[in-house]
Amino acid sequence: MLSCKELKWLLLSGLLFVSIMVIPVTSMARVNVDINIALPPLIQLAAPPVVVAIPETDVYADPDLDVDIFFYNGWWWRPWQGRWYRSRDYRSGWVHYRRTPSFYNGLPSGWRSSYKTHRHKDREWNYQRVSHDDLQRNWRDWKKTKYWHKQQKREEDNSRKSHSHKDHGKGDRD
C-alpha cells in the first residue's frame, strides 16, 4: 500500500506529465484560413503614364489608357473585376484594397468625355498633361496649395474676360 506522501507525489507527477503533454498540443492548434484574391494583370506601358488633373479634385488619371488607373495621395489606384487595388508604383506591387477609395465617389461622371471635348460643366477645360516625374515630384505641393483648383479658376476668369471683350466689341461694330 502507498503512503499518503507517495500518493501525493504520484498524483502531482501525473498532473505534471499530463500538463506537459496537453498544453503544448492545445497551443499548437491553429486556425489557418487562406483567401486568395487574384491580382490585376500588370499594365504594360511603353512609357510612364502622362496624366491630367481631373477637374475639381486632387485626382490624376491617364485618359488615353483603355483601363482606369488613377493617382491620388501618393498611390496609384485601379479597379479590376469589382475590386480595388493600389500600389506606390504603377508598374507593380498592386495589393487588394478592401473598399472603394474615398476619392472615387467625388470624381465627376463623364470626366473622360470632358477630356475629349475640352469642356467640363459647360466650361472650357484647358487641361495640362503632367509627366510621371513631375507628378511624383510635385503632387504634395499641388495638393497643399490647391494648384489645379486655382489654375482652373484662372482659366475660367480669363475665359469670362475674353468673352466679355468679344461681346463688347461686337456691340461697338453695330
Q: What is the pLDDT along the chain (174 residues), one digit of tens a residue?
A: 667 677 677 666 766 666 676 665 555 556 666 566 777 777 788 899 999 999 999 999 999 998 899 999 999 999 999 999 999 999 999 999 999 999 999 999 899 999 999 999 888 888 999 999 999 999 999 999 999 989 888 877 776 776 666 655 555 444
CA proximity to 43, closest of 97, 91, 96, 93: 91
Whether the Cβ atoms of residue 57 and residue 107 lie closer than 8 Å to each other: yes
Q: Which pTM value belongs to this model?
A: 0.70
Closest CA to 122 of 89, 159, 90: 159
Q: 162 with 169: CB under 8 angstroms?
A: no
pLDDT for the residue numbered 139 = 97
Taking a C-beta distance cutoff of 8 angstroms, is the pair 130, 60 a contact?
yes
Whose grid coordinates read 511624383? 136
